[in-house]
Amino acid sequence: MTTATNGATNGLTNPFARMALLASETPQAQAAYEALLGQVEWAPIEEADVAVVLGGDGFMLQALHGMLDAGRIVPAYGMNLGTVGFLMNRYDKRAVIANRLAKAHRKSIAPLRMEAVLQDGETQTLCAINEVSLLRETRQTAKIEITVGSRVRIKELVGDGVLVATPAGSTAYNFSANGPILPLDSELLALTPISPFRPRRWRGAILPDHMRIKLRVLDPQKRPVAAVADQKELRDIAEVTLEIARDTELELLFDPGQSLEERIVSEQFVTD
């Protein structure tokens, strides 16, 4: 990851006092990084009050998780130099970044908090912006008990695993697993099985996001399961508890007409 710490202001009107420029290591992102260096006086991310992120959705998630890990969250404005760019804005090398930031709309999203218990009794806490997925580690199918609220809803889900997606992540892995696309302001979560074998007719559930979800691995020694929170993996899981981290909201910036809500709606009408 490349971070800019200097440059010239060129007299631009800047809606943020200090801006950081972050870029992935891809050639396209690095070229954009060099093109933007001279536009403003860039600051280190530790001192900035906004982050301009160059790359794809994966790098945006990496940048946001970096903020969560550091305990210092600032708005993030992404420019797509990756593949999908669902969380990003269009890159235009002719555009003045300060002007784009001045017109950008803000959108707050709350991540999922996962409290995981490993087979050895160790506990770990991770956050996920898109989804938390439980996946079998071997050729043996996973067996998972699903509790929502205070009730066991499925005593034994047999298959490759199960995932819980936020609205922001509902068009990613969740959608590939035939899960529903959720409007960003729906206050819902998608609970989606991954290649389920039993129960055969269960295709998942849409849940209010105030409900806690507990996923307990059955027969974990014979059928080990890993938990993945976005890009971070924990192996040999005994159980995980999931809930929205309302005390840890993130803020994304979008160009006019390019909001995350519009992208979620548009994705449901793609026919090719």
Binding residue ranges: 57-58, 130-131, 160, 168, 171-176
Q: What residue numbers bound the domain in which 103 lies?
A: 2-109+249-267
pLDDT, residue 10, reads 44
Query: Are 161 and 216 in a shared domain?
Result: yes
Total of domains in the chain: 2
Whether 165 and 206 have beta carbons less than 8 Å apart is answered as no
Q: Do 51 and 123 fall into the same domain?
A: no
Domain assignment present for 61: yes
Question: What is the torsional sign of CA 38, 39, 45, 46?
Answer: positive
- Return the CATH number at 81: 3.40.50.10330
Residues 255 and 163 both lie in one domain: no
pTM of the model: 0.85
CATH number of domain containing 236: 2.60.200.30
pLDDT in tens, the chain (272 residues): 665 543 333 444 557 889 999 999 999 999 999 999 988 889 999 999 999 999 999 999 999 999 999 989 999 999 999 887 888 999 988 888 888 999 999 999 999 999 999 999 999 999 999 999 999 999 999 999 999 999 999 999 999 999 999 998 998 999 999 999 998 889 999 999 999 999 988 999 999 999 999 999 999 999 999 999 998 999 999 999 999 999 999 999 999 877 677 767 777 777 66
Instruction: Calculate the alpha carbon distances from 253 to 32, 104, 108, 163 in Å.
Output: 19, 6, 9, 27
Buried b vs exposed e over 238-254: b needs ≥16 C-beta within 10 Å? Answer: bbbbbbbbeeeebbbbb
Active-site position among 57, 69, 120, 230: 57
Binding-site members for NAD(+) are 57-58, 130-131, 160, 168, 171-176
Q: How far apart are CA 46 and CA 67, in angstroms?
A: 9
Known catalytic residue at 57:
yes
Whole-number pLDDT of residue 95? 83
